[in-house]
């Protein structure tokens, strides 16, 4: 797999230190490995070699199938310059991997008849339509989900940093974005857009009359058992009780904690953090759904989420490509908030998924996750051959 396959402009967020967030529980376990007998030494040695090669502080990785987690390991330290080890129960920032979660939440609303994949934003906000540019009135939910709306990648998010009301900020972002002509006609071409997912958040909030954070907890996290998943930066400020973010130089960021992340307005696009086993529950659900098994959504909904509707590789929160090691179609996404990196691949036809997180946000972190994915694919393939 190439860097082009993996890097999808996931590191375009900027850090705003004064953002607010809902903290998650900080309960590190005593162990740094949870794998089936016989696999741990191989996985640990592979991850540690990769961590050393690329000079990143810590790596956590998991292998899962539709039956559950096969292996979960973590190596390295939470913060460079300390000896505090990362663990398998640490919280990792998932960045733009949040988008697949938001897309799944949209699918739940579609299944309930609250909107349609082809609903236009204008039809969902009739009270605002007069302020929309004629071309943006054509933008649909599916355009937003697949980055084909023509909206720009971002607004000037610094204008939203002082807004304590995230739903209001998202609605304001929608109004600003739809007042201007799109960069190209909706549906014409792919343009990765965090803004598009902020608009999806505003749609969810309009239909449910609840903040996106509440809806995704109630309708996605809790049903899947993701009890420690939260939003924003991780850890208790000034305590090394969770992985600490690191810049491209490998230097730890000045501070940690819930506020050390992008502003809350960007929640639907990339502010979720989770322990790997929580994230795995979400990924396993996607894997089961892709295989037609019992999952949160109907099989037809996963089929729509996982199939690019336009002439590109981008589906709803996923990149869809063909890989021999996956037996055909595989799904991928990455996430980065400039301080952390997360990478996930799903191979539905071979029934496995790989997740890798690094507490650093740069090209070295991307390369570390990429090589870790390769290593775990080989380990999983060897295990499957033995069986």
- Asked if 175 and 124 sit in the same domain, the reply is yes
The position carrying tokens 């640490």 is 90
Q: What is the pLDDT of residue 162?
A: 84
Whether 223 is covered by a domain: the verdict is: no
Whether 224 is covered by a domain: the verdict is: no
- Asked if 83 and 107 sit in the same domain, the reply is no
> Domain limits at 10?
3-96+230-386
Whether 343 is covered by a domain: the verdict is: yes
Splitting the chain (387 residues) into consecutive groups of 10 residues, what average pLDDT does each group show?
41 35 38 58 92 97 97 97 97 98 98 98 98 98 98 95 93 98 97 98 98 98 98 97 94 96 97 98 98 97 98 97 98 97 98 98 97 96 84
The pair phi, psi for residue 309, each rounded to 5°, is -85, -10
CA–CA distance from 174 to each of 98, 108, 137, 195 (Å)?
Answer: 19, 22, 12, 8
Whether 113 is covered by a domain: the verdict is: yes
- Asked if 206 and 248 sit in the same domain, the reply is no
In which element (H, E) is residue 380 found? helix 363-386
CA–CA distance from 385 to each of 15, 44, 64, 350, 378 (Å)?
Answer: 44, 20, 16, 12, 10
Domain end point (choices 159, 188, 214): 214
Q: CATH number of the domain that 141 lies in?
A: 3.40.710.10
Q: Tokens standing for 262?
A: 């992008």
Q: What is the pLDDT of residue 21?
A: 35
Sheet holding 91-93, edge to edge: 91-93, 272-275, 230-231
- Asked if 167 and 306 sit in the same domain, the reply is no
- Asked if 9 and 63 sit in the same domain, the reply is yes
- For the chain, the domain total comes to 2
């Amino acid at each position: 797999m190439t860097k082009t396959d993996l890097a999808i402009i996931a590191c375009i967020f900027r850090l705003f230190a004064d953002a607010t967030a809902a903290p998650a529980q900080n309960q590190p376990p005593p162990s740094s490995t949870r794998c089936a007998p016989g696999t741990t030494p191989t996985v640990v040695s592979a991850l540690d070699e990769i961590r050393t090669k690329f000079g990143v502080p810590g790596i956590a990785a998991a292998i899962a199938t539709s039956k559950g987690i096969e292996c979960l390991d973590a190596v390295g330290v939470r913060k460079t310059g300390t000896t505090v080890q990362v663990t398998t129960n640490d919280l990792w920032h998932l960045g733009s991997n949040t988008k697949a979660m938001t897309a799944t939440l949209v699918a739940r609303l579609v299944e309930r008849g609250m909107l349609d994949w082809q609903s236009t934003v204008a039809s969902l906000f009739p009270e605002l339509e007069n302020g929309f540019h004629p071309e943006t009135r054509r933008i649909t939910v599916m355009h937003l989900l697949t980055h084909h709306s023509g909206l720009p990648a971002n607004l000037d998010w610094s204008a939203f940093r002082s807004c304590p009301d995230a739903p209001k900020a998202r609605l304001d972002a929608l109004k600003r974005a739809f007042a201007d002509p799109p960069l190209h006609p909706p549906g014409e071409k792919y343009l990765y857009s965090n803004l598009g997912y902020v608009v999806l958040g505003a749609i969810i909030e309009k239909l449910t009359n609840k903040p996106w954070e509440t809806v995704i907890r109630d309708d996605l996290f809790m049903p899947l058992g993701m009890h420690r998943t939260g939003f924003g930066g991780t850890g208790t400020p000034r305590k090394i009780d969770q992985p600490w973010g690191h810049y491209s130089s490998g230097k730890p960021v000045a501070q940690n904690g819930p506020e050390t992340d992008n502003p809350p307005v960007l929640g639907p696009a990339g502010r979720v953090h989770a322990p790997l086993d929580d994230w795995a529950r979400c990924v396993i659900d996607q894997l089961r759904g892709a295989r037609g098994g019992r999952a949160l959504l109907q099989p037809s909904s996963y089929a729509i989420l996982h199939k690019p509707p336009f002439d590109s590789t981008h589906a709803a929160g996923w990149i869809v490509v063909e890989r021999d090691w996956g037996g055909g179609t595989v799904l991928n996404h990455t996430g980065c908030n400039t301080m952390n990196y997360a990478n996930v691949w799903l191979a539905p036809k071979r029934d496995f998924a790989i997740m890798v997180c690094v507490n650093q946000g740069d090209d070295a972190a991307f390369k570390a996750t990429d090589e870790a994915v390769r290593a775990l694919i080989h380990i999983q393939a060897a295990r499957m051959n033995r069986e």
